[in-house]
């Protein structure tokens, strides 16, 4: 059987599946990981018609690179290599952990600031309405500051995506990354 194990819909492949496209995928990830001086990640495949891929994991030595069936069916091998190199660049840059930390810090600031400001407002209004006013101000500020926080996180995310594109171009070659982006 070509499936090493199944986790949340992603089937892990080991390069000995007997399915040429999945064995090629595993071998390509292996080759590109070596070129990027990364430990070999687990390689996953999941049945999904959309063209997509992702990398995940808590450290460079415990990662997964997965692609969809839609990506495998709708892209040429050189384009797929550009996508895989992009995902490996995310691993190399530590983007999974970095973005999680950035999101956590932003969320902490949103919660803290909304409650501090709501506390100040609550102290400025009549005691009979203080709880309700504080509650409403907290909700409004959670929403407004949350939106502003999402913009900050999106800015960091976009910067990390450009950095992963540059890393992919250096590992797989500029032409393969451009081909993947054009597709």
Q: Active-site residue numbers?
A: 87
Task: Tell me whether residue 123 is exposed, middle or buried, using C-beta atoms within 10 angstroms of its C-beta: 0 to 12, 13 to 18, 19 or more.
Answer: exposed
Tally Cβ neighbours within 10 Å of residue 96: 19
Nearest one of 12, 7, 96 to 56, comparing CA atoms: 96
Task: List CB contacts of 55: < 8 A, sequence separation 6 or more.
Answer: 41, 63, 64, 65, 66, 87, 88, 90, 91, 95, 96
H or E segment to which residue 64 belongs: strand 62-68
Residue 58's CB: how many other CB atoms inside 10 A? 10
For residue 74, the SS3 value is: helix
Alpha carbon distance 74, 79 (integer Å): 10
């Amino acid at each position: 059987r070509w499936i090493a194990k199944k986790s949340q819909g992603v089937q892990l492949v080991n390069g000995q599946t007997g399915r040429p496209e999945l064995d090629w995928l595993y071998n390509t990830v292996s080759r590109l990981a070596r070129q990027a001086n990364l430990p070999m990640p687990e390689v996953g495949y999941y049945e999904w018609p959309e063209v997509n891929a992702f990398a995940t994991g808590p450290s460079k030595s415990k990662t997964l690179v997965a692609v969809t069936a839609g990506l495998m069916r709708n892209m040429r091998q050189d384009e797929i290599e550009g996508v895989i190199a992009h995902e490996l660049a995310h691993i190399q840059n530590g983007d999974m952990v970095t973005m999680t930390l950035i999101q956590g810090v932003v969320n902490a600031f949103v919660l803290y600031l909304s409650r501090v400001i709501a506390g100040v407002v609550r102290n400025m209004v009549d005691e009979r309405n203080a709880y309700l006013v504080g509650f409403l101000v907290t909700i409004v500020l959670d929403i407004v500051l949350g939106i502003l926080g999402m913009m900050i996180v999106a800015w960091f995310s976009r910067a990390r995506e450009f950095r992963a594109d540059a890393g992919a171009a250096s590992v797989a070659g500029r032409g393969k990354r451009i081909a993947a982006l054009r597709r």
